[in-house]
Chain A
Amino acid sequence: MENLIVTSGSHSRDEWMTVAGLPEELKGSVMAADVLIVPSMMPAQPKAFMTGTMDLYAVLKTQMGDKIEICIADDDYEEIELNSRTLRLGRFCVREVVLPVFLGVLSAYIYDRLKEPEPLEVTVEVPEYQQPATVSFTIEVEDSLGKKKEFQYEGPAADYKEVAAEIERLWNED
């Protein structure tokens, strides 16, 4: 799958808490969360989150409750809105046990955000701004034994289900 990049995950939760300058009182819930939304690490704004993260967090909270946390203090939360029309979901640290559920919730969220008309006839000249919607995200999966893998995807939103299945397959292959 050409738009999916797999690497060995390298960040620890301690590192993310340092990047975010997280106060002591939030460190416990960040360490305990099965899904942790982490800062974007954009060069100019490393602590900022992708636009729409606040709503995604609320949706995930509804679906997964206390298993979800975000690595930032309320007062430090900022969103960065980038240029082109891609649904940027951001970066997530996910524990193995909730990976299938998390990928499923993300699928429903993408579907809701990108309800679009059917694409135009593909055989005609279509400018880039009329191409089907794209989505991007990075998911770092970890298990209790220290195994880690990072999955980075940027590509057609329509391929998400296939990508999610591939992420699960690649995680389980060794």
Chain B
Amino acid sequence: MKIKAQTILSHLLEDGFDYDATIKEVDALKKEYQKQHDEENANVAWATLEIVSLHRDYRKAFGMLQEKQYYEAWCLLEQIEIGIANLLRNFSGVKNAVEFISIIVRQLQCLYPYRVFLSTEMVIKERVCSICGKKRSIRHHCGHFPGHVYNGEMCCDYIEKCAIEGVAIVFNPEHKYAVAFGRNGEDDHKDHYDYKLLEGLMGWWKDPYLPWHYTTKHIHKSPDEFPGLKDDDNCPCGSGKKYIDCCKNDSEGVKHVVYEFRPGIRKG
């Protein structure tokens, strides 16, 4: 399986690579290894499937951004982020296979205007292990840990009984998909977020495997650059405060962040 995996990964970025056919083929191999209880090969097949799926989804997310389906792309980017974390938790040696998309995904997430999220507070009362199906109990652990891979399957919990205690507004959510969307009345289903940073990027980023990075620079603009700006208007700096309560009191002017995009990857 390792040789097969290496062959697949060496062709992964080629134009015309058939992700779905490859996934089907590797999945069939994985099932065969699982039947034989060949855990090592089943786990390698799982990792191969994950890598191929991550690259397929990454291309899909890129396509969504091209089509201006920003929230849909956001949700898929989160799935990719989670998938990479799960993969590397079990197979840290395959970092190179996903490192590029990991960096680009995080950069893309930073360019979204989303800052406020809704998040549930939940009490989990009963759950079962996805690997062995046993009810989880504090003193009788089944030996399978969520997030770890066993015989080609990743362990997770199936929640059987839970209670939602509340919903909170957070800035650093457990689940990024829970974006807070503003509405002007019940019939307003428009997305009011401003995606111009992503629009600017997608104007010249035409190949998902073309590396890029961005830098930011803080400057101040003269209030004269905002003709007609009134005290009660939203501050042009984007703080969400009224102008009179924000940059009007700043002797240097209106705060402004300049984003500059450049080709190539810059690591942290």
Interface residues of A (CB under 8 A from B): 44-45, 48, 51, 53-55, 57-59, 61, 70, 72, 74, 77-86, 112, 115-131
- Report the interface size class on chain B: 35 or more
Asked, given contacts A84-B173, A85-B173, A129-B173, whether A45 binds B123 with beta carbons under 8 Å apart, the answer is: yes
Task: Say whether chain B's binding surface is mostly helix, strand, loop, or mixed.
Answer: mixed
Task: Say whether chain A's binding surface is mostly helix, strand, loop, or mixed.
Answer: loop
A91 CB to nearest chain B CB (Å):
15
Picked from A61, A83, A124, A125, the residue with its CB within 8 Å of the CB of B168 is: A83
Closest 4 pairs (CB-CB, A-B): A83-B119, A58-B141, A128-B171, A125-B216
Interface centre among A51, A59, A72, A121 (most CB of B within 10 A): A121
Q: Does B189 contact A (CB under 8 A)?
A: no
Residues of B within 8 A of A74 (CB): 137-140
B81 CB to nearest chain A CB (Å):
9
A161 CB to nearest chain B CB (Å):
20
Q: Is the CB of A84 within 8 A of B171?
A: yes
* Interface 9-residue window, one of B37-45, B61-69, B83-91, B221-229: B83-91
Residues of A within 8 A of B122 (CB): 80-81
A37 CB to nearest chain B CB (Å):
9
Per-residue 0/1 for B81-112: is the Cβ within 8 Å of any A Cβ (1 yes, 0 no)? 00011001100100000010011001101101
Instruction: Compute the total of residue contacts between A and B using a CB distance below 8 Å.
Output: 119
A149 CB to nearest chain B CB (Å):
27
Residues of A within 8 A of B257 (CB): 125
Q: Does B136 contact A (CB under 8 A)?
A: yes
Q: Is the CB of A80 within 8 A of B121?
A: yes
Residues of B within 8 A of A116 (CB): 85
Q: Is the CB of B173 within 8 A of A83?
A: yes
Q: Is the CB of A83 within 8 A of B140?
A: no
Residues of B within 8 A of A122 (CB): 268
Q: Is the CB of A117 within 8 A of B215?
A: no
Q: Does B220 contact A (CB under 8 A)?
A: no
Q: Does B35 contact A (CB under 8 A)?
A: no
Q: Is the CB of A129 within 8 A of B120?
A: no
Residues of A within 8 A of B215 (CB): 121, 123-124
Q: Is the CB of A129 within 8 A of B106?
A: no
How far apart are the CA atoms of A58 and B140 in the complex, in Å? 9
How far apart are the CA atoms of A170 and B143 in the complex, in Å? 36
How far apart are the CA atoms of A73 and B45 in the complex, in Å? 40
Q: Is the CB of A54 within 8 A of B85?
A: no
Q: Does B160 contact A (CB under 8 A)?
A: no
How far apart are the CA atoms of A53 and B88 in the complex, in Å? 22
Interface centre among B92, B110, B146, B168 (most CB of A within 10 A): B110
Q: Is the CB of B138 within 8 A of A57?
A: yes
Q: Which residue of A lies closest to B141 (CB)?
A: A58
Residues of B within 8 A of A57 (CB): 138, 141
How far apart are the CA atoms of A75 and B192 in the complex, in Å? 47
Residues of B within 8 A of A48 (CB): 123
Residues of B within 8 A of A54 (CB): 136, 138, 141
B198 CB to nearest chain A CB (Å):
14
Residues of A within 8 A of B120 (CB): 81, 83
How far apart are the CA atoms of A145 and B141 in the complex, in Å? 35
Picked from B114, B124, B138, B171, the residue with its CB within 8 Å of the CB of A70 is: B138
Q: Is the CB of B145 within 8 A of A130?
A: no
Residues of B within 8 A of A128 (CB): 115, 171-172
Q: Which residue of A lies closest to B197 (CB)?
A: A125
